[in-house]
Chains A and B, each alone.
Chain A
Amino acid sequence: MRTPPLVYNFYSLLVRWPSTLLTTASIGSTVAVIAGVMALQQGFASLYELGGRDDILVFLRPGATSEGESAFPKDRARIVMMETPEILFDKAGWPMAAGELYLAVRRAKEDGGETNVPIRGVPQTSLTLSAPRLQIVEGRAFAAGRDEVMVGKSLVGRIQHCRLGDTIRINATGFKVVGIFSYDGPFQSEIWGDIDRLGQVLHRPTLSRVVARARPGADVAALAKRLESDKRVPVKVMTEKEYLESQTKAISWTLWLLGSFLAVVMGTGAVFTGTNSMLAMVAARTHEIGILVTLGFRPVAIFSSFVMESIFLGLAGGALGCLLVLPLHGMSTGTTNFQTFTEVAFAFQVRPIVLVTAVGLATVLGLLGGLFPAWRAASAKPVDVLRRV
């Protein structure tokens, strides 16, 4: 089947540039909004993907869905640490495991208002466990038993009293900020200090979770099954990777829902606009279509020619949408993860998948907008269209 050359459609779009431009912009901004929401979701999810490891085990109290809810008496945590054969032991014969305290504390933001910042009381073993991912970028690590803390890099400039040398007041005790650390993942939005001191000041005798390094080849699924129904110390076990992924579900799901809702609603609007433009293009070219038909082009060829033209419009809109959303990449924002009620900072991530979706969506919008006008063009009778001058 011969179709009119694509260059014909291309020139048509150029000649009717005001309409082309407005339709492109309309599709482009629709796609940009949806890509923006997607970039936000990707940024949030990547934060949790980055932080998780397969060889770190997380122990929570049964029933708890996050460490914010979980609580362990210390003696029970000790049994878990000492008597789980899947935990790796260091050269001195001690388990590479740490009981940690986690609490969302109320802190003032630098730009006003309050938010919940996670504070983590850890023993020195936690620092060993999180090396080399945790790195001190300024100052030093807190010392055991001292009223000192180190803060995650993402808090600096966002939360008050989080600069080196500041003092963070908790109840009646001041903790000196002695270090700033980087740690890819949600941990970078946390404050870390000595577990015993924080436990006393916060009046929290319990632990929130136990983390441990797994022995190579340990069967985590079997361990989880065994400990879940353990009579003496029932606990919930998963890898750090699984744990962190479970923490993103609520927000990822909400953003996904919002993105789809916007795609359907705004997409409908964009298809209407595209149809309008293409209808006008067809109407303005009635005479030309007649000539094409007379020249022997089949209706199917004319149909596909106009659909192609509309897809061009969509592609141009997609490209524009990508251009509009690209500057968002790396822009940082923060929101509360309602799984733990704490605020995490993260950056928009315009990943390839976002761009591909944007262009794909734009193409579909162009295609849908072109179907009806192309059908109208293809169903024109040569005599009718040539008669009209």
Chain B
Amino acid sequence: MLKIENLQVKLEEEDKQILKGVTLEVPAGAVHAIMGPNGSGKSTLSYVLSGRDGYEVTGGAAELEGEDLLELEPEERAAAGLFLAFQYPVEIPGVGNMTFLRTALNAQRKSRGEEELSAADFLKLIREKAKSLKIDAEMLKRSVNVGFSGGEKKRNEILQMAMLEPKMCVLDETDSGLDVDAMKLVAEGVNALRSEGRSFLVITHYQRLLDHIKPDVVHIMADGRIVKSGGPELALEVENNGYADILEEVA
């Protein structure tokens, strides 16, 4: 599904190499996790994949189902099936949550040559999805993320994911700022979306999210590279011993 090969990225504004050759492949239906200490380049990876400005790719490649992601505009990547759940979802005053989602969904459908969803069908769909994430009508009516609590913002991200039905979901520290109950709710939302044709890349600092979203493979990232990959037990190792041991071991 997602194939990243020797990806090298530096900041556009300053001469600072952040990713120094990331190689990673997430097969269809798989859940991979990336863990790593602060500053290891995890969030940069998610931004570069989704097409945010400010980064310069200096080498390597990233493909989604064989399509070169790095050549596409952010909206084209979304239409191709990539979804980034933001670490810090953006507040957009004046744009209603419903309008936002409907615009996004129909824009994606249109670019794929599919029919746009009617207002009635959209309403039915969103009510159903919102309910399972405990998002009430009031939240749907408000401006995008404006006045939402940290948990509400993250639930709203998962709602968007559920509505847009992407193939490849990148979750950037979705657990940050969540209490245990909120994390469980978010994890349930993610698990409900797991399917054969959909893959996940879960970026996190902590193992606890992975208790709820069970990964197939765990990668450890440090200093702009994947330094170690393994099964779920790798996450437990990090939880128990911290990153220091692993980093020493691979050094």
* Physical interaction between A and B: no
Chain A interface (Cβ within 8 Å of chain B)?
A: none
